[in-house]
Every structure is written in C-alpha cells, then in structure tokens.
A and B are shown apart, each in its own frame.
Chain A
C-alpha cells in the first residue's frame, strides 16, 4: 500500500518534478551546503538525492529544477513532527529520519509528511528487515563500519606474520540483509571523526556497499567538504573519481538484481548475527570463498539449490521443518557444518555492530571448520593475489552470466590478480570505473578456466559468460 501511495504522490508532483527519479533509483548524498550554487558540483555525477540538515526553500527549488530529489534530515529530538511539517512546507521531496526515534514517533513524522516518502535510517537492530512485503522501498542504517584495512592503535596493520590482513567491511551485513528482503539498502554511516579521509577511502566506502548491492549515502568530512567548496584541484579530482565510481555501479543496474552465488551457503538469522560486522560472512569474504547468505527464515530446499556445502550457524534456532531441509541437503550429498553444541548466534546489544572478543573467539571455531571443509575447492571462483581486496560473486537468474566484483582496500594498486573459475564459463570481460572494457584471454586451469588482470586500482569487475 505504502509503495502505491508513494507512486501516487510522485505521480501528482508538479511538472517541474516530473523528471524526479523513483526511490529505488535515488543515489543519495548528505549535502553539506544550502546555497544553490553548490548544486553545480552535481554536474556530471549520478547523485540525484540530497539529504539536507538545513532546508532552504530556494535551494530545494533549485535542486528540483535539476531533477534532484531532496530529503530533509530529521534527527531525534523535540517535535520531530513539527520539523517534518516545516520541511514539507519548503517543498522537499521527503524526509530522512536519521537516528532512532522513540516508539511511535516515526509514525507521527509519516503523518506530517502527508504521504511523501519517509526514509528511516535507524540502528541496525531497528531496521525493517525482510520488509519488501511491507512495501518499504528503501531501508537504511546510520550504523556501519568505516571500510578499509584494519589498523591497530599504534598504526600497524592488523595482521600476524602468518595471516591475511583484516578488512573492515559492511559487506557481510549488507549481504545478510539483502538476502532477506529486496528493499533498496542505504548505508548512511559517516566518515570517522578526527581522521584524515583520503579520496581513496571514499572510493572504498562507495564500492564496499555497491559490490553487495547497497548504496552508501555519500557523506563528506568537514575538511573535504571545505576543500571541495573551494574547488581545490586535487579535491575536485577526488570528487570526479567518486562520481565516476558511483556512475560505474549505477550504469549496471543488472548487477544489483543478480543473485549472490556460491556453492557454500551460510544459514543465519539476519536479525541476529547477520546484523553484526566481522562475523562469519566477513570472515569467509576475507578468504574470498564465494558464499551465499540464506536467511534462516527463508531456508528451503530451493534456497540451497546448487550449494554443495552449508553452514548452520545456530542449529537450535531452526524449526523442525527447517531441520528437515538440512537433513535432506546432507542426504543429497551436501556437506553440512553446524555450530558447536550450545552455540547461539549472537544478537547485537545496544550500539554494538561488531563482534566482541569473546564472540569472535567462539566464531573462530566455526571459521576454522569452514576453512578446513572448503580447502582448495572452487566454490564458484578462486582468486589469487587479492589479500588487500574483497570480492563478491554474483550470477544471473539463468546462471549463464556471472560477475566477480573486486574492491582494493589498500592505498596501492594491486597488480597481477588471477581468477580461476569453472569450465562452463568460456568468455571473460574486464570492466573498471576508469573506463576499461577488455576481453580477457581465458587459459585452462585445473578448475576450468582462468584469467589474469594486470592491475586493479580501487575496483574492477570480471564478467564471465557461458
């Protein structure tokens, strides 16, 4: 119903607003300025939705004239309904609630918005998960880790002589959430305070969300915003690269509609452990084992089709019917790994969005078993020389096309990446945000085929076709 109402609202907007994009196509940014001249920065970018802390009618009108959607940001505080009414009077397109309002307050904002879109950017635990049926086209959270290679307090990269570097990422959370519902997901976390954020780190934040089908609500730190306002050359160059990267993903809406692919399935409750970053999905991602999240709520024989291995994180949480699904999976030859006896998937506590040390150690037990079970098997694709990267393997509904997204989280280009994939894929094409579109030579490997990629700056995508 709500979706229909939104459609009706947008349909009756004045002609000026006719070019306004649909909510699912909104490319959002927290806009730190309110002068109409600042809108010139949007030229050549795909950003079409601005989140405004300060609503200035002239600015809203100028934005609308450019076909740009505006959302008034309303934070928890006194009289949120009044703030919403004032914003609507200034003719913003809708409201973005930025934070956790008291029970029932969101409803008053909706009422004040008069049917205009209201996007709730809540804590992870209060997100309307699995909510596509409820007609909410966009769900979002203000909570996210700042993506990048984890660094210890003394500045050293978090790694042992032996291990891989750890990459802070929201991808596991995004994948868990998107597996449960088809609403557009916005990550509205902001850059860390008192930290110099380089242009590369912004690119990583954009790509971290985009490779798993979400959108990061672009948010600039004060220093970057000031330099951008002054049109400093280096900052403008960074800005252009950010725009290019956003455009790269927006030009391929088919990627957002492809399915997570992998012969390894993780059965987990997105409303519990799935809400936490640094969990089992992220652990597997760091090892570049293609994996698909299967929400416990959606566990059926169909959801496991094509999987050869499954991990049941919280066995006690399953219904008898769901347990039978897993029994049938193993009877059919699938390998099943279950969490240790008594192990329960953790639910986030308070503002928690990452695992605490004790939970991490317990999860490590599962992780070691998963690692041992997978070994060198090709669970969809095997990647080499990607220690500073994360990847995501997606496949079309008919399985004839797959894409492998790569994001480089280091400050240096990565050279000489190798990708091995099953024999059914015969052709491979490399695309990058820098405009490279290149057919790759496929060579035989023990797993089927392989391709080499000379260099990855921040992001690259390999399209595999049968």
Chain B
C-alpha cells in the first residue's frame, strides 16, 4: 500500500459515534520537519506556530499552563540515554516553548507535571532528568514550575466537572494550577502506549490527576499530600476509589480493564479541562510503549514537530504520522487491546478525528509518515 492509498483508506473509515446533529470541531494542525534536537528547535517551533496563525492572540497577557510529559521515574533510562531523547519531552523543546510563549506576550508560564511517586518540587525531577532548570527559568519572564501530584503551592484542589455525559467520573479534583490559568497547553511526546495504543496530547493529560487523590496510596478520606505511588489501583484498574474528598466513579460495576478505563478517563479529563494548544515532540522518541519499563520498545527518530489548536485533531494527525488509522477501532493497531481515546474524545464533542476535515499545514502527512509498527 502506498502512502497515498493508506491515507485514502484511513480517511474513509467511519466515525465511532458522531454527536447527533453536531459535528465535532476541526482546527488546523501544523507539521514541521526537525531532524534532531541539535537543529534550531526554537525556529522550527516558531514556524509551526506561524502556520497555525500565530499564538500571540492566544497567550498575550495570559497565564499559560504547560503540561509536560515526564512519565516514569527519571532514573529509568532506555539504554542509558537521556529521557528527553526517548520518552520525556525534550528540554530544548520545553525551553523553546517557554521562549516563544514569552515572546508572544504570555504574562506567566507555568510548567506542570505530576511526576512519578513524589510531591517534591518539579525542579528536582527536572534536574534528575538532566534538565537545566536555570536555563528554562531564563527562557522567558514569569516561568514557574509546579508539581501537580498534590495540592502543592496552593491550598486545596479545584474541581473540574465533566460536561455532558461523563464516561467514568463526574468530575476530577486537580491541583489549582489547572484552574488558575487562562491557556492550557499539552506538550506531549509522539509515542505508543502499552495501555492506550498511543500517548499524545490527550493522553498526556492523564498525568494531571494528583496521586494524592488518585494514587495507590491516596488517603481514604482526604488526599495524601505525600504520595509515593502511581495510579494503578484507582484509575487503571479501579480496585479502589479515590479519596472520598473527590467524586467517586459513576459506574463502579463497569469494566475494570485498563484498556477500557484509561481512554475514557482521558477523554473525560480533556472534556473537563480543555486543551487550547497541543504540541507533540516527534523529533526523537520510542516506539512500542511509553517508557523503558515496557518490554520491546525501540528508539525512533520521526524527525517531526506537530502542533494544533484542537487536541483531537492534532492527535489524529499525529496518529496518522505514526502510520496508524486515527479512527481505528479496538482490536486494530495501535488500539489492539484498548478503546480508541481519540474517538472517545470525539464523541465528547472535543474535536474531529476526520482527517478529511482537517487543514494540515506545513509538511504533508504523507511526507511526515514514520511507521511505528514495523
């Protein structure tokens, strides 16, 4: 099958569930070639933003919160390589994002992540990943960092209600950094995911959930402000409920299978807390899983940056760039053992997965194509 035939095929795939009488929104997605982090990443990202019509109008005089993808302990490396060239977003791209947000007039730029099993300063995790925190701080005025695994620098949590008909939880309690913001950016990595098939700008938001409430050792009644675990028991497998301070599951009798639960939780989270700008780091990455703990992963160099103003559209394009049909159903790669997060988000009305409706700017998908399944 040629690239063009493949694109024609995936564009013809049916929608899982279009909202009756209402087409999910579409927005432009931009792709740029960036062969390595040694290139001028800032210039490449600036070009991507320009192709989207610029970000000044989006961020000028605004507080911008950027959710990073730093999954897993920074101590776990794939073949000893820095996490930024495998499964974390690369610090150069993070710095470029800060610089360009600052140049576009952002008043405050707050980088957030709920890193593995700690509520300590996010800066410590960055340092442990080999990032130069001082450089990031100096990339723009008003740069801050917040670990959102617990309540952190603020008091209490903000509740984000899922609009419409939630899949899993009626609302999610998150660190207030997600509320105290005007613009929310998901800065993700172009990767497969062991549970969800792909992890892009949507799945990146799974990490907004605080382990203090949704972690394995979350408090029963109140959040545990010193969490030391992941979220397997509560979110992945539903073996226990979150702290009682947060709303419990809507359907405790539903499937406990992670491939059912996690995509729905992700779709709920993004519906409850919209992403305004999605950026996907596909310069260097891994295929076969989301981190070094997944057996069979391998290093890949797709050499692309992808960004868009709608996360479902952006992830649909990114999934296509990875060589998959973004509208594939469960049982088909990359969603072999899970439901398709993109379709679930589409059904929430967040955005379309229909490539035919999308305005892909810059590098065409067929030229950016880098098959993750060999």
Contact = CB atoms under 8 A, between A and B. Distances in A.
A418 B80 contact: no
Interface residues of A, number: 24
A332 interface: no
B76 interface: yes
Interface string B117-147: 1001100100111111010000000000000
Nearest to B75: A387
Contact of A412 (B79, B121, B124): B79
A360 interface: no
Given A156-B295, A162-B116, A415-B82, A385 B128 contact: yes
A387 B134 contact: no
Contacts of A387: 73-77, 128
B80 A388 contact: yes
B293 A159 contact: yes
Q: Which secondary structure dominates chain B's binding surface? A: loop
A333 interface: no
Contacts of B117: 162
Contacts of A25: none
Given A387-B77, A452-B132, A161 B127 contact: no
Interface in A157-189: 159-165
A385 B130 contact: yes
Contact of A161 (B73, B120, B121, B128): B73
A164 B127 contact: no
B230 interface: yes
B367 interface: no
A164 B73 contact: yes
Nearest to B121: A376
Given A376-B120, A376-B124, A164 B75 contact: yes
A415 B117 CA distance: 24
B81 interface: yes
A52 to B, nearest CB: 38
B206 to A, nearest CB: 14
Residue in A161, A386, A415 whose Cβ sees the most chain B Cβ within 10 Å? A161
A434 B79 CA distance: 24
Nearest to A409: B80
Given A161-B293, A162-B116, A412-B81, A384 B76 contact: no
B291 interface: yes
B72 interface: yes
A343 interface: no
A415 to B, nearest CB: 6
A145 to B, nearest CB: 20
Interface in B210-242: 229-230
Contacts of A164: 73, 75-76
B80 A161 contact: no
A415 B130 contact: yes
Given A416-B132, A443-B134, A162 B230 contact: yes
B193 to A, nearest CB: 13
Interface in B291-308: 291, 293, 295
Nearest to A443: B134
Contacts of A159: 75-76, 293
A356 interface: no
A165 B134 contact: no
Contacts of A384: 124, 127-128, 130
Given A385-B130, A415-B130, A165 B75 contact: yes
A411 interface: yes
Given A385-B128, A415-B130, A163 B81 contact: no
A354 interface: no
Contacts of B130: 384-385, 414-417
Interface string A347-387: 00000000000000000000000000000100000001111
A161 B72 contact: yes
A338 interface: no
10 contacts: A162-B116, A163-B76, A164-B75, A385-B130, A387-B73, A387-B75, A387-B76, A414-B80, A414-B130, A415-B82
Given A165-B75, A385-B129, 17 more contacts: A156-B295, A160-B76, A161-B73, A161-B76, A162-B117, A162-B229, A163-B75, A163-B76, A376-B121, A384-B124, A385-B130, A387-B75, A410-B77, A412-B79, A412-B80, A443-B134, A452-B132
Interface of B: 72-77, 79-82, 116-117, 120-121, 124, 127-132, 134, 229-230, 291, 293, 295
Interface of A: 156, 159-165, 376, 384-388, 410-412, 414-418, 443, 452
* Complex A-B, nearest 7 residue pairs according to Cβ-Cβ distance, in ascending order: A387-B75, A412-B80, A384-B127, A161-B293, A416-B130, A164-B75, A410-B80
